[in-house]
Chain A
Amino acid sequence: MCLRQLAGYRDHAAAFRDAGFDLAGLSVDEPVRSDAVRREHQLPFPILCDTRREVIGTWGVITRNEKGGIAIPATLVFDRDRRVLFSSLDDEFNRVGAKALLEYLQRPAAGSGPRSPRRRFLLASPGDWWRAIRGAFRFGLRSPRT
């Protein structure tokens, strides 16, 4: 099980709400199983069940070597028009933590509320910003100086 990711979002759920963002999870689990996970970890947000792998197939985030394929960890933030504000395809060493994403979304310019008429302008930079952060993490991991 790899649910630390979700627990992080649970722990920061109120802060995300305050920042103007709702949360949701998505996996290939059946509703019954997802419901158990949601209860066990007290997740205050909906869990979507892509049991037929429709969405993760379309998005190309499906593993090929596990039962029927499961979701590759990834994070997306959508605005109210389904436009992607932030996109991260995670790997073993670079997984977006809830806290890092929250801090990113909390930047004054990143809000998408009614007082942000120029939000489209914001879309050019999130990828670059995140690549820079990832690069810093990678550099840190590969440079274990004592």
Chain B
Amino acid sequence: MAYGHFPEAGEIVADFELRDSTGAARTLSQLVAERPRVLVLYRGHW
């Protein structure tokens, strides 16, 4: 995993936990528990 691996269609991604903008902990598994979800990675406020 030295260079990382970007998930491809069909793969099951390992769960992770991050804070959201309110400071609350969110896991990927919780985020998709009810419905599928689109995750948009963006460059941020730089």
Instruction: Pick from B32, B35, B36, B46 the residue with the most CB of A within 10 Å.
Output: B36
Total residue contacts A-B, CB cutoff 8 A: 191
Instruction: Chain A residues near B19: list those with CB within 8 A.
Output: 31, 48-49, 51
In the complex, the answer to whether A71 meets B43 with C-beta atoms within 8 Å is yes
Please classify how large the interface on chain B is, using the bins under 10, 10 to 19, 20 to 34, 35 or more: 35 or more
The distance in angstroms between the C-alpha atoms of A77 and B8, with both chains bound, is 10
Q: Fill in one digit per residue for A76-95: 1 if any B CB lies within 8 Å of its CB, else 0.
A: 11111111111101000000
Q: Could you tell me the dominant secondary structure of chain B's interface residues?
A: loop
Q: Do B31 and A24 have beta carbons less than 8 Å apart? A: yes
Interface centre among B7, B33, B34 (most CB of A within 10 A): B7
Whether A77 contacts B37 by the Cβ 8 Å rule is yes
Which of B15, B23, B44 has the most chain A CB atoms inside 10 A of its CB? B44
Interface set of A (CB-CB < 8 Å, partner B): 1-3, 5-6, 9, 16, 20-29, 31, 33-38, 46-51, 54-62, 66-67, 70-87, 89, 101, 105, 112, 123-124, 126-127
Q: Which residues of chain B have a CB within 8 Å of any CB of chain A?
A: 1, 3-16, 18-23, 26, 28-29, 31-46
Closest 6 CB pairs of A and B: A60-B4, A27-B44, A34-B21, A35-B21, A123-B10, A47-B21
